[in-house]
Amino acid sequence: MGDEILRVGHLGKTFGNNVVLRDIDFTVSKGDVTSIIGSSGSGKSTLLRCINLLETPTCGEILYHGVPINGKDVNASEYRTHVGMVFQTFNLFNNLSVLKNCVIGQTKVLKKNKEESIAHAVTYLEKVGMAPYINAKPHQLSGGQKQRVAIARALAMDPEVLLFDEPTSALDPETVGEVLAVMRSLAREGMTMIVVTHEMAFARDVSNHVVFMSEGIICEEGTPKEIFESPKNARTQEFLARFTQN
Amino acid sequence: MTSSLPTDFLGRIIYLITNYGSSFLRGAGVTIAIAVVGTVIGCLIGFVVGITQTIPIHANDSKLKKFLLKIVNAILKIYVEVFRGTPMIVQAMFIYYGALMYLQISMGMWIAAFFIVSINTGAYMAETVRGGIISVDLGQTEGAKAIGMNHFQTMLYVVFPQTLRNIIPQIGNNLIINIKDSSVLSVIGTVELFYAAKQTAGAFYWYFESMTVAMLVYLAMTLITSFLLRKWEKKLDGAASFDLATTDTLAHTSGLLRGPTRRNGGHRHGR
Type of residue at A66 = G
Do B228 and B28 form a contact (C-beta atoms < 8 A)?
A: no
Do A58 and A13 form a contact (C-beta atoms < 8 A)?
A: yes
Q: How far is A242 from chain B (nearest CA, A)?
A: 32
For residue range A73-132, list pLDDT tens digits in order.
Answer: 788 889 999 999 999 999 999 999 999 999 999 999 999 999 999 999 999 999 899 999
Specify the range with the lowest mean pLDDT, choosing from A204-218, B144-158, B230-244. Answer: B230-244
Q: What is the pLDDT of residue A245?
A: 64
Q: What is the pLDDT of residue B250?
A: 47
Q: What is the pLDDT of residue A2?
A: 57
The residues spanned by each domain of chain B are 21-140+148-237
Residue A193 pLDDT greater than 90, yes or no: yes
Report how far residue A75's alpha carbon sits from residue A218's, in angstroms, rounded to the nearest whole number.
Answer: 28
Report how far residue B166's alpha carbon sits from residue B135's, in angstroms, rounded to the nearest whole number.
Answer: 9
Q: Does B60 touch chain A (CB under 8 A)?
A: yes
Gyration radius of chain A over CA positions: 18
Gyration radius of chain B over CA positions: 25
Q: Quickly state the pLDDT bin for B5 (edges 50, 70, 90).
A: confident
Phi-psi region of A215 (alpha: psi -120 to 50; beta: other; left: phi over 0): left
Q: Residues with Cβ < 8 Å from B121, sequence gap 6 or more?
A: B38, B39, B41, B42, B43, B45, B46, B174, B178
Q: For B139, which residue in chain A has the nearest alpha carbon?
A: A91
Please give the share of chain B, as a percent, with pLDDT higher than 90. Answer: 32
Q: For A96, which residue in chain B has the nearest alpha carbon?
A: B158
Contacts of A109 in chain B (CB under 8 A): 147-149, 153
In chain B, positions 109-148, which contact chain A (CB-CB < 8 Å)? 137, 139-140, 142-148
Q: What is the pLDDT of residue A34?
A: 94
Residue B17 pLDDT greater than 90, yes or no: no
How many Cβ atoms are within 10 Å of B166's Cβ, its own excluded?
16
How many Cβ atoms are within 10 Å of B189's Cβ, its own excluded?
12
Closest by Cβ to A131, choosing from B158, B242, B245 = B245
Q: How far is A228 from chain B (nearest CA, A)?
A: 32
Phi-psi region of A66 (alpha: psi -120 to 50; beta: other; left: phi over 0): left
Report how far residue B56's alpha carbon sits from residue B127's, in angstroms, rounded to the nearest whole number.
Answer: 16
Interface size A-B, in CB pairs within 8 Å, comes to: 100
Q: Quickly state the pLDDT bin for B270 (edges 50, 70, 90).
A: very low
Residue B83 pLDDT greater than 70, yes or no: yes
Q: How does DSSP assign A174-187, residue by residue?
A: HHHHHHHHHHHHHH
Report how far residue A113's alpha carbon sits from residue B269's, in angstroms, rounded to the nearest whole number.
Answer: 32
Residue B263 pLDDT greater than 70, yes or no: no
Q: For A89, which residue in chain B has the nearest alpha carbon?
A: B139
Q: What is the pLDDT of residue B271?
A: 37
* Annotation: CATH topology of B21-140+148-237: MetI-like fold (1.10.3720)
* Short-list A47, A35, A38, A37, CA closest to A8: A47
For residue range A128-153, list pLDDT tens digits in order.
Answer: 999 999 999 999 998 899 999 999 99
For residue range B20-43, list pLDDT tens digits in order.
Answer: 888 888 888 989 999 999 999 999
Over range B219-232, report the average pLDDT: 91
